[in-house]
Amino acid sequence: MIIGVPKEIMDQEYRVAATPDIVALLVGHGHRVLVQAGAGEGSGYPDSAYRQAGAALVPDAASVWHAADLVIKVKEPLPPEYPLLRPGLTLFCYLHLAAKPDLARVLLERGTTAIAFETVQLADGSLPILSPMSEIAGRAAVQIAARYLERTSGGVGLLLGGAAGVPPSRVAVLGGGVVGTWAAQVALGMGATVTVIDVNGERLRHLQGTLSGRLYTAFSNPATIAEATGAADVLIGAVLVPGARAPRLVTADMVAAMRRGSVIVDVSVDQGGCVETTRLTHHSNPTYEVHGVIHYCVGNIPGVVPRTSTHALAHTAYPYYEKLATLGVREALLSDPALAKGVNVYARHRPTSGWRRPWSCPQRRSWGCSRPTRRPSRGQHEGAPHRRRPPAYRASGLGRRCRLPPQRSPGPGAGVRPQGSTPVGLAQGHAQLRREHRADCPARGHGGNRRAGPYRGEAGEHPLLVQPSGRRALSQGGPPLLDGAGGGRPLPPRY
């Protein structure tokens, strides 16, 4: 497989999806790796290192995107990269589509299969590719908050750990996951007083038993969140719902109640943010103020330490790179449930030539039957030939299209009103429709003698009126099959 590694174009994003060591492993397994020139410079990996590892260096991003079967990168595609998306391409990176519906629509329109790092999930619920970046973001968030607490950065002028005779700063952490755990550990190590708020009691007990220092835990509810944020000098948002938008736990009124010069670091901004006043920023202009509170809402916090982040990400994601490249996308997803959970967009492509739906092949049409086509039954492989109808069926002329008379869609609990009759129950109404249909059906041999019909199913029953096994027949009093929930036109019978 041809694997492409383009250069990141997000503002001050210096990470790269593969180190030279990882490229050497992929090349050693027989894959071709295309690396855009300068892709690893920000992480300290020169082009010469990739060349020595066996990669082919290409001058621009378009060459990588157009030639590769699998593109691995760090952050989601930005609008300048949208035209490079195409059918048949598989994209493997951080996507965060819950907060980016426009990107999701572009991926669907372009027919690109997209697998997200952050939703690859093991059976125990852990997120193996997201965890190393979450650890780095949690550690870095406290360092960033300590810097913006300084007066020269616009903060209130507090030292996170205090001093002799001076109480330490108070840090509130929303979420006790990977980000919250490492943020609390670093803040405790710097001498701060830390409160961790989470909905999971077992997680809070685990943190209480493993972390030492001025640590307090609390269950998440609006009252405890308002109390903790009102007293905090630093608020760290570390809320994650895998694959979904982060809930807004901190309202604008809670932010207004915080002390002027305090700091909010919302790590969950990638998923929309857990603070109502959060909006995405970038490293070139990382902060803004609301109600006198400094907000740091950069979506790629690990990008400030690209060497550490790249090494951790590339080695964690490599097993999935290798699986996708060796087995192919479909087989890799079928063989690895964790990787399958990472699929955000899956595009099924139709080959340009030599392809035909098996349920509309010429063999079926050669019967001279214009009945609606049917899909293969479950378990029938796509290349299986269609069963020919018996000669009596073909000679009878019953292959001609035969439809039930149009009927109205009754409301819940209402009866069917056949034309010229009074409302009756569903079973009786459909039975009357059957009788009228048999009398007026133009197909030869259908009316009159019910036992003369050469069909499968009940003796003399018209094939369009035979309900498949496992579904309640209309003659047994079952409800009509409607198109949509609770209304619309009746669905055509399936056979």
* Alpha carbon separation from 58 to 36, 43, 55, 86 (Å, rounded): 5, 18, 9, 19
Q: How many Å apart are CA 360 and CA 378, to the nearest integer?
A: 16
**Same domain as 271, residue 153:** yes
pTM of the model: 0.69
Checking if the pLDDT of 74 tops 60, the result is yes
- Containing 134, the helix (H) or strand (E) segment is helix 130-148
- Asked if the structure places residue 241 within a domain, the reply is yes
The region of weakest confidence among 4-13, 63-72, 237-246 is: 237-246
CATH code of 320's domain: 3.40.50.720
* Residue 32 to residue 193: CA distance in whole angstroms: 52
Residue 123 lies in a domain: no
Q: Looking at the predicted structure, is the pLDDT value of residue 393 above 60?
A: no
Structure tokens at 382: 């796509």
Question: Is residue 60 located within the same domain as residue 162?
Answer: no
Question: Residue 421: its pLDDT value, please?
Answer: 39
Does one domain contain both 101 and 81?
Answer: yes
Model confidence pLDDT, tens digit, residues 76-95: 999 999 999 999 999 999 99
Same domain, 21 and 82: yes
Pair 26, 19: CB distance under 8 Å = no
The domain in which residue 455 lies consists of 408-495
Which of 304, 332, 361 is the last residue before a domain boundary? 304
Instruction: Retrieve residue 385's tokens.
Output: 């030939």
Within this chain, do residues 182 and 331 fall inside the same structural domain, yes or no?
A: no
Segment 103-129 mean pLDDT: 94
Residues 152, 284, single domain; the answer is yes
Out of 110-114, 245-249, 395-399, least confident range: 395-399
| Residue that terminates a domain, selected from 273, 304, 335 | 304
Nearest CA among 220, 222, 194 for reference residue 208: 194
Q: Please tell me whether residues 137 and 239 are part of one structural domain.
A: yes
Q: Is the pLDDT of residue 364 over 70?
A: no
If pLDDT is split at 50, 70 and 90, which confidence band does 348 have?
low
* 185, part of any domain: yes
- Which active-site residues does the annotation give? 96, 270
What was the pLDDT predicted at 438?
57
Percentage of the residues of the chain whose pLDDT score is greater than 70: 70
Tell me the C-alpha distance between 254 and 223, whole Å. Answer: 10
Whole-angstrom distance, CA of residue 353 vs CA of residue 269: 45
In contact, 427 and 475? CB cutoff 8 Å: yes
3-class secondary structure for 384-443? CCCCCCCHHHHHCCCCCCCCCCCCCCCCCCCCECCCCCCCECHHHHHHHHHHHHHHHCCC
Do 269 and 325 belong to one domain? no
In a domain, 315, yes or no: yes
Check pLDDT > 80 for residue 467: no
Closest CA to 234 of 177, 170, 159: 170
Shared domain for 99 and 226, answered yes or no, is no
Q: Give how many domains the chain has, as a whole number.
A: 3
Q: What is the pLDDT of residue 435?
A: 61
Residues 168 and 317 reside in one and the same domain: no
Q: Is residue 362 part of a domain?
A: no
Same domain, 281 and 317: no
Output the pLDDT for position 437.
Answer: 53
- CA separation for the pair 365, 358 (Å, rounded): 12
In a domain, 445, yes or no: yes
In a domain, 319, yes or no: yes
Dihedrals phi, psi of 460, to nearest 5 degrees: 75, 5
The answer to whether 137 touches 267, Cβ cutoff 8 Å, is yes
Angle in degrees, 0-180, between the axes of helices 130-148 and 178-189, rounded to the nearest 10 = 40
End-to-end CA distance of the chain: 42
Residue 294 near residue 155, CB atoms below 8 Å: yes
pLDDT at 79: 95
Top pLDDT among 40 and 382 is at 40
The answer to whether position 370 is within a domain reads no
Asked whether residue 328 falls in the same domain as residue 244, the answer is: no
pLDDT at 137 over 80: yes
Each residue's pLDDT tens digit, 419-449: 443 344 444 544 555 565 555 555 444 444 4
**Domain termination site, one of 252, 282, 304:** 304
**Residues above pLDDT 90, as percent of the chain:** 66
